[in-house]
Structures are given as structure tokens and as C-alpha cells.
Amino acid sequence: MTLKKTGLAALLLLGTAALVLPAHADDDSKKPGKPGTEQAAPDKPEASDTEPAKSGIFKPEQKESTGSVTIGGQVVNYRAVAGTIVVHPKGWDDAPKTDPDSKDKEPEAEANMFYVAYFKQGADPAQRPILFLYNGGPGSSTVWLHMGAFGPKRVLTLDDQHTPAAPYKLVNNDSSLLDVADLVFIDAPGTGFGRIAGAAKEKSFWGVDQDAHAFADFIETFLGKFGRWNSPKYLFGESYGTTRSANLINILETDRSVDFNGVVLLSQILNFDFSPDSPEGNPGVDQPYELALPTYAATAYYHHKLPQQPNDLQAFLKQVEDFAIGDYALALAQGAALPDDKRQAIAQKLHDFTGLPLKYLLKADLRISGGEFEKMLQDDTDTTTGRLDTRFSGPSMDPLSKEADYDPQSAAISSAYVSAFNDYVRRTLHYGQGQSYKPEIDVHQWDWRHDEPGDAGGDAGPVNVMPDLASAMKYNPKLKVMLNAGYYDLATPFFEGVYEMKHLPMERRLQKNISYAFYESGHMVYAHTAALTKLHDNVAAFIQGTDNLASK
């Protein structure tokens, strides 16, 4: 989960976390257990509970256990490792410190990033793909992908309604990707059980580029720690995690000389100028209205708010997409010069595609933000439409408000994910006793400046990492990219992702390296069971088609 709106930038921020250094839980990881059961596994040389620290702030930690998951009728036995890896800001010197006065100074900034890794037992690392997964925010942990999408266990939630309070149910995840790859779920610096500390710690890790470099350090350290340098490698980012992925893959490819086989993007946003959250704050840029229109149409279709209900959703959306980048774009481009008759005709078409009142559309000057649409679509019953997943609805907080005041989908499922993980990580993974898990943190000091490839100026405008992804794809012309998107996602509309991909600044021949998959679900595609099954199959096929393994 990610992307709660704040101005032009979309964020998911839920509270400021105070620094808490990791506490060592009682070690029960040496108790014997039967293979395939979720018990602690014996220690292994490459998986010690703690390792020598490179500084005096954090120590890497690790707990091991074993388990099994059944996927497509096949049992996969795995070793699970829950722990932290220490990373440092860009430019950090790992040479031993010899300054005699250093003990009187605040230590340099560093972070211990929490992760949970699952390794198939008995597999040859060189013949086993490894997939690094993360949510976004910024300021979000990866509890959502872990417990809802691809971990060996997932929490059950209602499809488009508020899930009742505990007890929640964890079940075998038949859609886990452990059938095709080892999985590493990574929490961003300061989230989960990870913490940041030292001089200027927020400036060192909370920023577009700082965050990407921290993830690059994590991945490099992980590859060495677990002997995975020669494994097929993949990134999987959701929401702001797609922004991170575009930046990160360029760093890994061009700066660290680490080629990846593929990048999987879920609910993409690469150019924040296209966000539908507050486009009125950026007048003259009309793409957000155009690119969100197909999602408005899909949502109105789902809630039966259209004047005429189409029989075929995909065919209907193709009509809307053509209108959005055709007549609608041309009309908005004319601004105040648009003739009255054309203005009336465009408003009528918008009414046909969204169900919103004609008078309201004209009053809004044909431009409807995401928040306005969420508030107005079902306003006749004082109902607010979801943002992360517009299939969800909830009572309006303020019936007189202009925009939606909250997200019904986030309210409906967050407790289930967070509660289930807090129980699972301690009972099953044997990690976190005496510690607090932070699913989201308030990164109000986030640095939105970004150095695009070839430019060290640190642009502070709306973030655009389209050049970064294009740079990585040009540097490694065999890199494959997969875009996954839900029709009912109004945080990062599906047509926005398509538009970004079609406008990457690179040779047209590299477009063949991009594949697309769409789902009748929302931002968290996996919250809809049928979509999760399809997502698993599509991503598994993508990995198997790009892993370069000869032994198939």
C-alpha cells in the first residue's frame, strides 16, 4: 500500500516514529524441527544471528526458520530469514575510522533495513532467480506485498468491503512466487523493524536519491551475504516503489555494474506531474485529467453510475482512452478559447463516460481531480468512493466537502494486514520480540530533489524518473520491464502508466522489451483474489521467460 495524497506529490504517511534501536529477542532458532514445518532451523555459516558491525550504532541481526507452501498443488519447502542489514549514505567510506576525537562526535548516519527472505530448500542459487520486493510511500514498509501478494502466507480480507476486526485468518498462499523465485521483502529505511540514526539521519535516507542508494547498498550487501551474485535478478516495486525501481535499476546498472534480468512494476507512477491528486495546483498541465479519465469510467461502470451500462469493459475503456488523448486533450489544450458549443459537447461526453452531472462538469471547467471524483460519484447517497481501489465505498466524513476526506479501501484492510503480520513475524519467523513494527512512518522531511541521468543539478520540481528507466534500458538493452496495473486504481491510474511507458526517452525498438498486464482490481491488485491469481501467473511467466537459465 502507498500513495496517500499530499499536494502534488502522493504519499502514504501515518505518523512520526521515534528512534528505537533493535532489541535482541530470545534466540529459539536452534530448536530442531521437521523439514517443511514452520519451526526454527539450525544456524548456518552464512546466516549467523549477528555479525560484526562496521560502526557502533547498529548490528545486523538474523533469525531463521523453515516452512512450506503449496502452490499449484506442488509443495515448496523453504528456509526463511528475518533480519536487518546495515546501510550507509551515498559516499560513505568503509575504511576503519582513526580519528581520535570521533568518540566525542555524533556517529555518521546509518540505517538498519529490515527484510524477510524466503529460499527454496535444496535449490542451486545459480539456477534460482531472486526477486527483491518493496512497497512505496515514501515511508511505507513492505507488509502489504508480503501479507497480501507473494509471501507463503496471506491474510484474508473481504473483496470490496470493510474486513471485520480480529481474529484475522492467515492461509496458505497458492499465489506465492516461491514456485519460480526466491523472495526478499525489503522495508524502507526507518520502517518495519528498521531504524535510522546518526548525524543528519533524515537527510541521509529520506529522499528520492538517498532512498534509492540505500536500496542499492542493501541489494549489493544481500547478494554477497547470501552468495547470490550469479543468480537471475529481479526488482518488484509497487506504487512509489515503481518510482524507486526506475531510479534504483539505473543506479545498479550504470553505477554498480549489476545487470538485472527484469523489473516488475505494479501500479506505476514515474512522472508526478501526471498525478490526479491535486492537478489544480499545476495549472496548464492537463494530462492528469486526461490520464485519469479511463479510471473514472471503469469506476462508474463498476458502481453502475453510467447513463448506459456497456456490456464489455475493455471495449468501453478503449473508447474512453481514444477520447482522452484525442478530442478531450485537444479541447483542454484550447483553454478559455474553447468555443461554447465544443465545451458543451465535451461535457456531455464526460457525463456519458463518468456519470457525473453535466452541470457539475461544466462548473469544474471540464477538469475533475481524483479527490473530486471520489467525493462526487456516489454523493447522492453521501457515499465516498475509494482511491487506492475504487471498488470500495464508505460513508462520507463530510457530506459538504469538495473532495474525499479519507480512503475507504485503506480503512477497510489496513488493520488486517498490520495485525496479521505482527503476529506472524513473532510466532512463525521468531523475530521482533520487544520491538515495535512500523508499517508506515511520517517522512515529512522527504527530499524530492532528484539528479536525472547526466544531470547533477538536483531538480526540486515534480519528480520524473522516466529518464532513469530509459537510461537503464539503453545501458542494458536486454533488460525487460513489465507493467501491471488495476483498472480501479485512482492513486496511480493504469492509463497513466501506459502513457509514461510510451513516452520513455529511448529508441522505439526498445519498446519491445516492455510488456503489459491489466486487472479488474485496484492499486493493490492482489486484494482481489482472482486478480492475485492472474498476477502470479503473469509475473511467473515473465520471470521464466527472462531468467536465462539453460536447465529448463
The dihedral through the CA atoms of 172, 174, 179, 180 has a sign that is negative
**Whole-prediction pTM:** 0.89
Sign of the alpha-carbon torsion through 354, 370, 249, 173: negative
Strands 195-197 and 233-238: unpaired
Burial class (CB in 10 A: 0-12, 13-18, 19+), 442: middle
Helix (H, G, I), strand (E, B) or coil at 66: strand
Q: Tell the CATH topology of 5-9+21-273+433-544.
A: Rossmann fold (3.40.50)
Pick out the chain residues at pLDDT < 50: 2, 4-55
Let me know: does 159 contact 389? Beta carbons within 8 Å: no
84/205 Cα distance (integer angstroms):
16
Grid coordinates belonging to 120: 527454496
Q: What is the DSSP annotation of 149-161?
A: IISSEEE---SSS
H/E segment holding residue 287 = helix 287-302
| Residues with Cβ within 8 Å of residue 82, at least 6 apart in sequence | 62, 63, 65, 114, 115, 116, 117, 425, 429, 430, 431, 432
pLDDT, residue 12, reads 38
- The secondary structure of 354-394, three-state, reads HCCCHHHHHHCCCCCCHHHHHHHCCHHHCEEECCCCCCCEE
State residue 105's pLDDT score: 75
Contacts of 284 (CB under 8 A, 6+ apart): none
pLDDT at position 404:
83
Residue range(s) occupied by CATH 3.40.50.1820 in the chain: 5-9+21-273+433-544
Residues in the chain, overall count: 552
CA distance 527 to 258: 33
Residue 457 pLDDT: 67
Q: What is the pLDDT of residue 402?
A: 83
Cell for 347? 461535457
DSSP letter for 450, please: B
Contact between residue 253 and residue 472 where contact means Cβ atoms under 8 Å apart: yes
CA 289 to chain centre: 23
